Structure 1
Amino acid sequence: MQQFIDAAPGIRLWTEQRGAADTEPLLLVMGAQASGIGWPEPLVDALAAHHRVIRYDHRDTGRSTWPFEERPYRIADLADDVIAVLDGLGIDRAHIVGMSLGGMLAQMVLADHPDRLLSATLISTSALSSTPYTRPDGGTVPADELPGIAPELLELWARPVEDHGRAAEVQRQIEHCRVLAGGQLPFDTDSFRTLAQRVIEHTGHHRTSTAHGRAEHDGMLRTDQLATTEVPSLVICAPADPVFPPPHPQHLAQCVRGASLVEITGMGHALPPAVLKPLATAILSHTGAARG
């Protein structure tokens, strides 16, 4: 079922629900500049066998409002949108699964609205905490000195995005996903081509936005709140992630009180078919345990 939610004055967010209405809600929050269609269908279906699954388009993605050029917003506003989606669908509490920027938004909700969450799963993201990372040998690393984004990816992001037509945009997205995937698993070109085409068809055009990269991001740290949370939390470690490489996931698991850590073999900063089954298994094991 598809539905639009009024998240703020002039802001409408596209949402989709799948699964039985009487099961516990599970909200999927995608990364920067990624629409809800970025969650692969087999993963959504696997989760929807046990949950009322909700995915949605961020502002400036998919079928939601694209307001940034006229009305710039903050990353914090994107976190408020998470609560607006729950409110708009009449959901008091939900499991939340966030990837990349979505994982940061999930941390902000975890910190600011713990009463709205049944559990949190954080995928391929970085801790919103200034707590140092404690290495296995007992040494510490300041949070701001953890490994950075892979140079190949930074070079790709530095290139201007030019409109050379739909086919060229699909190819650009495929090559972007190839770098994001990290190289430990064989790259499934066909699945990422299908995904890129589905996103464009869903959106209705092939234009891209850089709004989330330009949005004000000050005030995102939640060090104390994450260290004292009682929300059951799971961190997914993607060993091939070129955006937040290890030990980012290990650091995140240290920063979030009581968090468990599960590694998905070969996973990078993308969701190819090979990782979907183990990822669904990890998420459902966590939400099932949180249900008690």
Structure 2
Amino acid sequence: MHQYVEAAPGVRLWTEQRGDADAPPLLLIMGAQASGLGWPEPLVDSLAAHHRVIRYDQRDTGRATWSFDRQPYRIADLADDVITVLDALGIERAHLVGMSLGGMLVQMVLADHPDRLISASLIGTSALSTTPYTRPDGTQLPADELPGIFPEVLELWSRPVEDHGLEAELDRRVAHWRVLAGDQLPFDAGFFRTLERRIIEHTGHYTTNNAPGRADDSDMLRTDQLAENEVPTLVMAAPAEPVFPPPHPQHIAQVIGNARLVEIPGMGHALPPAVHAPLADAILAHTGAAS
């Protein structure tokens, strides 16, 4: 079932619901520049066997309103959109699963609206905390000195995006996923090409948008609130992660109260078929215990 939700005057978000309407709700929140269809169908179906699963297009993605150039917004507004979606769909409390920027939005909701969550799951993201990371030997590493984005990712992101037609754009997107996926699992180019073709068909065009990278990212830190968190929180550790490499997930699990860590073998900053089953198993075990 598809439904549009008004996030701001003149700004709509596309939402999709799947699964039993009476099952515990689970909201999937994708990363920057990523449509809700970035959550692969097999993973969504696995989760929907136990949950009322909702995924949505954030502003400037998919079928949502592309509004930033005429109506700039803050990253904090995207976190507020999470609550807007829950309200519009009549959901009082939900399990939240966030990837990348989506994981940051989940942390902001954890801190600001803990009463709206049953549980939280974080994938491929970074802690919104200034608390240092404590290494296994007991020494500490300042949060701002944790490893940064891999150079090959930054180089890829620095390239200008040029329009050479649909197939060339699909080539570019598949090459992007190849780098993000890391080097520990075989890369399935056909899977990601099909994924991106569906996203383009869903969106209606293949224009790219870097709005989240231009949005005001002030007022995102939630150090004290996250430390006091009581909502059951699962942190997925991805050993091949090139955007927020280890020990970012270990740091998150340290600085968020009531958090625990689960490693997804071989995972990078992508959701290829090889991680669907272990990811679904980890999330469902977590949501089942929290419920």
Whole-Å separation in 2 of the counterparts to 1:48 and 1:229:
27
The offset of 1:11, in angstroms, is 1.0
Whole-Å separation in 1 of the counterparts to 2:192 and 2:289:
32
Structure 1 window deviating more from structure 2 (1-10 vs 39-48): it is 1-10
Q: Give the match for residue 64 of structure 1.
A: 64
The offset of 1:7, in angstroms, is 1.3
Matched, 1:10 2:42: no
Q: Give the match for residue 76 of structure 2.
A: 76
The offset of 1:258, in angstroms, is 1.6
1:173-200 per-position Cα deviation (integer Å, ceiling 9, x unaligned): 0000000001110000110000010000
Structure 1 regions of 5+ residues with no counterpart? none
The offset of 1:22, in angstroms, is 0.6
The offset of 1:8, in angstroms, is 1.4
Secondary structure of 1:91 counterpart: coil
Secondary structure of 1:280 counterpart: helix
Q: Give the match for residue 260 of structure 1.
A: 260
Matched, 1:211 2:211: yes
Whole-Å separation in 1 of the counterparts to 2:10 and 2:94:
26
Whole-Å separation in 2 of the counterparts to 1:28 and 1:10:
23
Identity of aligned residues (%): 75
Whole-Å separation in 2 of the counterparts to 1:116 and 1:11:
23
Q: Give the match for residue 281 of structure 1.
A: 281
Equivalent positions of 1:1-292 (< 5 A) are 1-291=1-291
Whole-Å separation in 2 of the counterparts to 1:7 and 1:89:
13
Secondary structure of 1:260 counterpart: strand
- Which residue identity lines up with residue 78 of structure 2 in the other structure? L
Secondary structure of 1:27 counterpart: strand
Count of residues paired in the alignment? 291
Whole-Å separation in 2 of the counterparts to 1:210 and 1:161:
11
1:73-98 per-position Cα deviation (integer Å, ceiling 9, x unaligned): 10001001101100110100000000
Whole-Å separation in 1 of the counterparts to 2:183 and 2:191:
16
1:86-140 per-position Cα deviation (integer Å, ceiling 9, x unaligned): 0110100000000000000000000000000000000010000000000000000
- Which residue identity lines up with residue 12 of structure 1 in the other structure? R
The offset of 1:71, in angstroms, is 1.1
Whole-Å separation in 2 of the counterparts to 1:163 and 1:254:
44
What's the TM-score once normalised by structure 2's chain length? 1.00
Whole-Å separation in 2 of the counterparts to 1:284 and 1:153:
31
What's the TM-score once normalised by structure 1's chain length? 0.99
Whole-Å separation in 2 of the counterparts to 1:39 and 1:202:
13
The offset of 1:10, in angstroms, is 1.1
Whole-Å separation in 1 of the counterparts to 2:226 and 2:66:
31
1:210-231 per-position Cα deviation (integer Å, ceiling 9, x unaligned): 1011101011000000000110
- Which residue identity lines up with residue 6 of structure 2 in the other structure? D
- Which residue identity lines up with residue 190 of structure 2 in the other structure? D
Secondary structure of 1:275 counterpart: helix
- Which residue identity lines up with residue 249 of structure 1 in the other structure? P
Whole-Å separation in 2 of the counterparts to 1:95 and 1:42:
19
Whole-Å separation in 2 of the counterparts to 1:113 and 1:8:
19
> Alignment RMSD, CA only?
0.4
Whole-Å separation in 1 of the counterparts to 2:281 and 2:70:
42
The offset of 1:170, in angstroms, is 0.7
- Which residue identity lines up with residue 17 of structure 2 in the other structure? Q
1:154-177 per-position Cα deviation (integer Å, ceiling 9, x unaligned): 000000111111111111100000
Whole-Å separation in 2 of the counterparts to 1:236 and 1:81:
24
